[in-house]
């Protein structure tokens, strides 16, 4: 669109999503990252050659190979792009590449500790399963290397947060989620099978999938997520009676819906800073606008708000639940978990729930001692309820 005003001109078109566009200094090119239609968990860098006519822009692909490449930034002379890259063996690092087709990238940083044996990392495999309406739900399956598939093993469903996010083919590009990916690698070493669904509302799969959550929060999107358990039960090496679930934020919300809507589906569950009632979110000045944009107001859509309130159904909880939350969380206020625990106690479910508060911690745990405590608690919790182990003191 001209800076002086006028009609917008579409530059890219296809079965993919383009993100983080940035102009070259001479305004003749736009660099962006986008997923590939046949490999949704990977992102590559592209450059749109404008040449004065955006409607006829030529799109060239700059990066190649396996992995996720995001956030391109032009060099001052406009010849190169610096960007972030991850893959199954490497967490986020900086690379630079010439802004031309099939160029060779140069690695600038290596953030992985030198003592890490990368050959131990489990590589994700994309799978699909039917959602509540028959639509295919994409998910990433991680199976421990050298797993004895003639035996039955415990499994865990991981539900990402944000709604507008996704899992990737390897390490997550965001630090907030990379710490969860690293923890899953630890769980894999302990013998757990892990699956991470990209339920409707997730990015990277086109507009229809991303917008499928609107006016249905806690409905088909939540079922997409926890129906991953049904897929796990088709795997001959998964113990159908030893499946756990956990999630962060929006994923914590889905976890709570799962254990109150289908109380016998999972053997144990972990909620990390999950929303417990979208009416509370609507009433919050910081989140009211976001909530209204997705599901309107409680008066407009009472049925949607009812399904988006696991707090109203905690009396259905039948199996162990661990709740973790930081007191300085502004994304999902700490009050959500306080209300959840209070309601569980009122309903006589106190013996099923464990609650850990982290004073001064935010939505995404950042401090080393908090992460160490949280991950030990989660690992011990799953060991106790999915493997028959004991919960140690922390």
The total of other beta-carbon atoms located within 10 Å of residue 56's CB is: 11
The total of other beta-carbon atoms located within 10 Å of residue 255's CB is: 30
- CA angle, 292 as apex, 15 and 249 as ends, to 5°? 70
What is the pLDDT, as a whole number, of residue 162? 79
pLDDT at 54 over 90: no
What is the pLDDT, as a whole number, of residue 4? 84
- Model confidence band, residue 393 (pLDDT cutoffs 50, 70, 90): low
Kindly report, residue by residue over 311-334, the tens digit of the pLDDT.
Answer: 999 999 999 999 999 999 999 999
Grouping H, G, I as helix, E, B as strand and the rest as coil, residue 238 is strand
d(CA 159, CA 167): 10
The structure's pTM equals 0.94
Kindly report, residue by residue over 59-77, the tens digit of the pLDDT.
Answer: 999 999 999 999 999 999 9
What is the pLDDT, as a whole number, of residue 107? 98
**What's the number of CA atoms in the CB half-sphere (13 Å) around residue 172?**
19
Superfamily of domain 122-386: Alpha/Beta hydrolase fold, catalytic domain (3.40.50.1820)
Asked if residue 248 lies in contact with residue 361, where contact means CB atoms within 8 angstroms, the answer is no
- Model confidence band, residue 47 (pLDDT cutoffs 50, 70, 90): very high
Among 53-62, 134-143, 256-265, 353-362, the least confident range: 53-62
- Model confidence band, residue 207 (pLDDT cutoffs 50, 70, 90): confident
Residue-averaged pLDDT of the chain: 94
């Amino acid at each position: 669109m001209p800076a002086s005003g006028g009609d917008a001109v579409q530059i890219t078109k296809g079965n993919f999503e383009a993100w983080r566009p940035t102009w070259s200094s001479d305004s003749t090119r736009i660099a962006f990252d986008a997923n590939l239609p046949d490999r949704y968990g990977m992102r590559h860098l592209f450059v749109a050659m404008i040449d004065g006519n955006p409607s006829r822009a030529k799109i060239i692909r700059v990066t190649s190979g396996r992995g996720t490449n995001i956030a391109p930034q032009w060099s001052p002379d406009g010849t190169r792009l610096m960007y972030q890259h991850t893959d199954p063996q490497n967490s986020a690092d900086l690379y630079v590449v010439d802004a031309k087709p099939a160029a060779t990238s140069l690695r600038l940083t290596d953030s992985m500790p030198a003592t890490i044996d990368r050959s131990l990392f489990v590589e994700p495999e994309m799978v699909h399963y039917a959602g509540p309406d028959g639509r295919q739900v994409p998910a990433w399956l991680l199976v421990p290397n050298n797993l004895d598939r003639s035996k039955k093993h415990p499994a865990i469903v991981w539900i990402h947060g944000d709604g507008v996010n996704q899992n990737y083919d390897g390490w997550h590009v965001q630090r907030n989620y990379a710490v969860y990916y690293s923890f899953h690698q630890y769980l894999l070493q302990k013998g757990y099978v892990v699956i991470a669904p990209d339920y409707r509302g997730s990015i990277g799969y086109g507009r229809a999938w991303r917008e499928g959550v609107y006016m249905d929060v806690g409905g088909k999107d939540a079922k997409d997520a926890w129906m991953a358990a049904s897929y796990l039960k088709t795997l001959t090496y998964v113990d159908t009676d030893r499946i756990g679930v956990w999630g962060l934020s929006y994923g914590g919300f889905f976890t709570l819906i799962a254990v109150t809507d289908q109380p016998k589906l999972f053997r144990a569950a972990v909620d990390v800073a999950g929303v417990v009632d979208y009416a509370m979110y609507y009433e919050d000045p910081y989140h009211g606008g976001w909530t209204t944009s997705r599901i309107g107001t409680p008066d407009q859509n009472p049925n949607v708000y009812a399904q988006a309130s696991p707090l109203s159904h905690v009396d259905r909880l039948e199996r162990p639940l661990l709740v973790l939350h930081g007191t300085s969380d502004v994304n999902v206020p700490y009050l959500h978990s306080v209300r959840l625990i209070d309601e569980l106690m009122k309903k006589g479910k106190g013996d099923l729930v464990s609650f850990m508060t982290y004073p001064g911690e935010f939505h995404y745990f950042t401090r080393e001692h908090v992460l160490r405590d949280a991950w030990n608690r989660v690992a011990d919790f799953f060991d106790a309820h999915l493997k028959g182990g004991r919960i140690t003191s922390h």
